[in-house]
């Protein structure tokens, strides 16, 4: 149960003053929560400002430099309302001080209100941006207007928060202040030595300082308050991961012994031999599975490094020992593809493979569930449907989770909470830097695939402005005539607020038209709103060569394998993240043919966007790309947490706070060693921290274990 003291902080934001349903929606978006209901006062407390406005500049009207924020003490002379019926003409209020005169300009503002806050003849403080038009100073919609007697209420330093439409800065600040007032006294969970060494304020004080910066320095990640909160966030993360790990390990081990008969048959049937690093990874896995502890291993390997074959070896091993193995993929397309690949590999060894996704219905689903429950299905491939309550396994020995770069901590928790306790192999495609592995997975054993399978051709990458799109279409036409295959990727269009983004459907029809009747027939379309059947059909038509151009959104990003596709065009490349571009590019260069990747961008490119695209031109080394990505964008996006629903880091910054991550990891381990059930007073405080940092799923889990 959540400690009662925390109840006020778990009030919905909508219950805070000034926050209505619309603002609550906006806040849910900016704070990354699931919806307004799930957005609570404490989410605002832990929502850091990213900039501040300095209103400390006090000058005379005519001395204020163009475009700067200034606070002026002025006397109100006269009001000049908009002429009747002409609302587009602004309402002006003329004011002066010892240096000269200026106009305060308002659009669509109520006269009564303006007369109330700016009474003629009174002296007031106004703060806002001073702009000069035709040699006259003016201030359009001052940010603050206060009577001279109220001067203290004017915030000279004002934190600024990332905003979305539908949320005014003033409302947000008011709501945050209200949330701050709800904060109870919190016990200290951090180690006293750590607190002293770092001059950490307590968490409540740190939250207050976070929202009341006194200078730009207070926004730096290295202030004591920021470091305190970063530590808390990292500790909560490490602790919840350690709890998962602890519980997993506690479950009785299933020692898997197999001579390697089935593995050998699979190997023999493969059209290639394993690379050195694939062999090493397989050896690591076999050793883990043969031990008495549960395996918890991360298999990291760049796109195309051949993780599937490694997973197949592990699964064959589990099956030979009389168990079942599952492989969970993040998307339906990928599950089907894995099924096709794995079934082929498994055939030689006589292993029975089944596929289970949410698509299976009625009779078909019932049969499948029976096969799984009886153990007849030895390997089961699927999406998260694999772990629904209705699915029971005869003897689940190994779970392989293909996460690509969408981390699904939830799924892993669900799997373990189900009471099934298989060995676990997590595969990730993004070669994430070590700090991120630690942050996202905690202490997991790691195997890395560092070699590319033999025979891979390098991919030529070019960046081209989208004005030259016709040239690209011409090149594509001749490539298709030569019998080559190409992908054309468009950015995802959510509810198409961005009408300047070419939607994938529009692009599909314009390409069909441009390529003419004969080639136009060879174009398929795949996007997220299509039904699974339609997607399958389009994918298999492309795979078989019935179609040669696949126009798609990023649904194909994860793991699609069509070795004879050699051209990748990515439209609006500047809108994608580096890791994502790398993933997409990895769809080509998989066969013997020379491949190319064309990054179409919409200029002009900002500095970061330019730097990002040139990294891709320069290297195919996924690890380097990941490091650069981290430098250019910050960890939340590198981890792809936005799509995954995994709580990202809001307060911690993994490049600035790497030292704290190490400390948090050590602390989490030490805490659970002495107090595995978090039952001591400090343990109780730590439970509170887990709630505060929205890691309560780990607490539920603690209770179950
Ligand atoms: P990923 O690591 O991205 O999941 P896959 O497992 O899909 O990579 O493998 C990519 C491609 O490389 C597949 O077509 C697979 O058959 C092939 N492959 C895997 N291992 C080897 C190898 N050792 N030698 C040659 N090709 C390989
Ligand atoms: Mg894969």
* 3-state SS track over 598-633: EEEECCCCCHHHHHHHHHHHHCCCHHHHHHHHHHHH
What pTM was computed for the model? 0.65
- Ligand 1 center from residue 308 Cα (angstroms): 7
- CATH 2.40.50.140 residue ranges for the chain: 56-154
Return d(Cα 379, Cα 352) in angstroms, integer.
6
Q: What is residue 199's DSSP assignment?
A: T
By CB neighbour count within 10 A (0-12 exposed, 13-18 middle, 19+ buried), where does 224 fall? middle
- CA of 340, nearest ligand number: 1
CATH fold of the domain at 56-154: OB fold (Dihydrolipoamide Acetyltransferase, E2P) (2.40.50)
Of 453, 556, 562, 593, best ligand 1 pocket probe by most atoms within 8 Å of the beta carbon: 453
Cis amide bond preceding 613, omega within 30:
no
The string of DSSP codes covering 448-468 is EE-SPPTTPPPEEEEEEEGGG
Return d(Cα 484, Cα 522) in angstroms, integer.
11
- CA of 452, nearest ligand number: 1
3-class SS at 552?
A: strand
3-class SS at 565?
A: strand
**Could you tell me if 27 and 12 are in contact, meaning their C-beta atoms sit under 8 angstroms apart?**
no
What is the block-wise mean pLDDT of the chain (705 residues), using blocks of 10 residues? 91 91 86 86 92 90 91 96 87 95 92 95 95 90 92 87 75 91 94 96 96 89 95 92 75 81 95 94 95 84 89 97 91 85 93 91 93 96 85 90 61 54 82 65 80 83 94 94 94 55 82 92 87 85 94 71 91 84 87 90 84 89 77 54 49 84 92 92 95 79 50
Nearest CA to ligand 1 atom 22: 453
Architecture of domain 459-619: 3-Layer(aba) Sandwich (3.40)
Q: Identify the pLDDT of residue 468.
A: 95
Q: What is residue 438's DSSP assignment?
A: H
**Could you tell me if 353 and 346 are in contact, meaning their C-beta atoms sit under 8 angstroms apart?**
yes
Sorted by sequence, the CB contacts under 8 Å of residue 190 that are 6+ apart come out as: 200, 228, 231, 232, 235
Run of H or E residues at 487: strand 485-489
Q: Does the 276-449 domain belong in CATH 3.40.50.300?
A: yes
Position in ligand 1 atom list of the atom nearest CA 310: 6
- CATH 3.40.50.300 residue ranges for the chain: 276-449, 459-619
- Ligand 1 center from residue 304 Cα (angstroms): 5
Could you tell me if the CB of 396 is within 6 A of ligand 1?
Answer: no
Q: Across the chain, how many H-helices and E-strands are there? A: 25, 21
- Ligand 1 center from residue 303 Cα (angstroms): 9
Which residues in 307-345 are b (16+ Cβ under 10 Å) and which e? bbbbbbbbbbbbbbbebbbbbbbbbbbbbbbbbbbbbeb
Return d(Cα 467, Cα 470) in angstroms, integer.
8
3-class SS at 586?
A: coil
Could you tell me if the CB of 563 is within 6 A of ligand 1?
Answer: yes
- Ligand 2 center from residue 404 Cα (angstroms): 7
Return d(Cα 346, Cα 588) in angstroms, integer.
25
Give me the residues paired with residue 485 across strands: 565
Could you tell me if the CB of 305 is within 6 A of ligand 1?
Answer: yes
Q: Identify the pLDDT of residue 249.
A: 67
Q: Identify the pLDDT of residue 554.
A: 77
Return d(Cα 142, Cα 118) in angstroms, integer.
12
Q: Identify the pLDDT of residue 643.
A: 35
Sorted by sequence, the CB contacts under 8 Å of residue 119 that are 6+ apart come out as: 76
- Ligand 2 center from residue 34 Cα (angstroms): 29
């Amino acid at each position: 149960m959540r400690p009662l003291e925390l109840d006020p902080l778990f009030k919905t934001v909508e219950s805070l003053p000034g926050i209505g349903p619309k603002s609550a929606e906006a806040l849910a978006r900016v704070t990354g929560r699931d919806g307004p209901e799930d957005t609570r006062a404490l989410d605002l407390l832990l929502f850091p400002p990213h900039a501040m406005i300095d209103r400390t500049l006090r000058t005379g009207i005519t001395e204020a430099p163009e475009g700067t924020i200034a606070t002026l003490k002025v006397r109100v002379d006269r009001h000049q309302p908009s002429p009747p019926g002409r609302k587009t003409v602004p309402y002006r209020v003329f004011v002066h001080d010892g240096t000269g005169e200026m106009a305060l300009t308002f659009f669509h503002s109520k006269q009564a209100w303006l007369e109330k806050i700016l009474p003629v003849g009174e002296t007031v403080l106004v703060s806002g941006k001073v702009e000069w038009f035709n040699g006259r100073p003016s201030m359009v919609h001052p940010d603050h207007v206060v009577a001279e007697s109220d001067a203290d209420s004017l915030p000279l330093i004002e934190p600024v928060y990332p905003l979305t439409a539908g949320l005014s800065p003033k409302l947000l600040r008011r709501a945050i202040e209200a949330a701050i007032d709800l904060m109870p006294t919190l016990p200290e969970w951090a180690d006293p030595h750590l607190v002293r060494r770092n001059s950490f304020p307590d968490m409540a004080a740190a939250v207050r300082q976070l929202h009341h910066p006194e200078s730009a320095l207070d926004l730096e990640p290295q202030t004591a308050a920021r470091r305190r909160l970063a530590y808390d966030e990292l500790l909560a993360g490490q602790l919840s991961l350690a709890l998962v790990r602890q519980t997993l390990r506690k479950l009785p081990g299933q020692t898997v012994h197999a001579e390697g008969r089935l593995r050998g048959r699979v190997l023999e049937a493969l059209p290639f031999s394993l690379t050195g690093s694939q062999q090493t990874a397989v050896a690591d896995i076999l050793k883990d599975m043969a031990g008495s502890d549960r395996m918890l291993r991360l298999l990291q390997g760049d796109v195309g490094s051949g993780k599937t074959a490694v997973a197949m070896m592990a699964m064959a091993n589990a099956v030979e020992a009389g168990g079942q193995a599952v492989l969970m993929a993040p998307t339906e397309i990928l599950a089907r593809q894995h099924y096709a690949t794995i079934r082929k590999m498994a055939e030689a060894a006589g292993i029975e493979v089944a596929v289970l996704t949410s698509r299976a219905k009625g009779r078909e689903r019932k049969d499948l569930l029976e096969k799984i429950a009886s153990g007849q299905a030895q390997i089961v491939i699927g999406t998260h449907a694999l772990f629904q309550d209705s699915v029971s396994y005869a003897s689940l020995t190994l779970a392989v989770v293909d996460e690509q770069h969408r981390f699904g901590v939830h799924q892993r928790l669900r799997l373990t909470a189900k009471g099934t306790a298989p060995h676990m192999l997590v595969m990730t495609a993004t070669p994430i830097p070590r700090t991120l592995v630690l942050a996202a997975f905690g202490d997991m054993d790691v195997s890395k695939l560092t070699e590319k399978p033999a025979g891979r051709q390098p991919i030529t990458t070019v960046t081209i402005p989208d004005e030259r799109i016709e040239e690209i279409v011409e090149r594509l036409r001749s490539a298709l005539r030569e019998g080559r295959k190409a992908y054309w990727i468009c950015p995802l269009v959510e509810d198409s607020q961005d009408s300047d983004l070419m939607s994938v459907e529009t692009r599909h029809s314009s390409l069909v038209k441009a390529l003419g009747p004969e080639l136009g027939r060879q174009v398929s379309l795949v996007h997220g709103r299509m039904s699974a059947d339609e997607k399958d059909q389009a994918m298999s038509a492309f795979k078989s060569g019935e179609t040669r151009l696949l126009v798609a959104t990023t649904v194909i990003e994860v793991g699609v394998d069509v070795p004879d596709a050699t051209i990748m065009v990515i439209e609006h490349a500047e809108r994608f993240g580096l890791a994502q571009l790398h993933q997409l590019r990895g769809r080509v260069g998989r066969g013997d043919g020379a491949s190319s990747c064309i990054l179409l961008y919409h200029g002009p490119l900002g500095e970061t966007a330019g730097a990002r695209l040139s990294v891709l031109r320069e290297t195919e080394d996924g690890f380097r790309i990941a490091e650069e990505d981290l430098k250019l964008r910050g960890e939340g996006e590198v981890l792809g947490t936005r799509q995954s629903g995994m709580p990202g880091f809001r307060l911690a910054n993994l490049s600035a706070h790497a030292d704290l991550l190490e400390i948090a990891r050590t602390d989490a381990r030490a805490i659970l060693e002495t107090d595995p059930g978090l039952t001591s007073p400090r343990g109780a405080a730590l439970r509170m921290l887990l709630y505060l940092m929205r890691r309560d799923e780990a607490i539920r889990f603690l209770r179950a274990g």
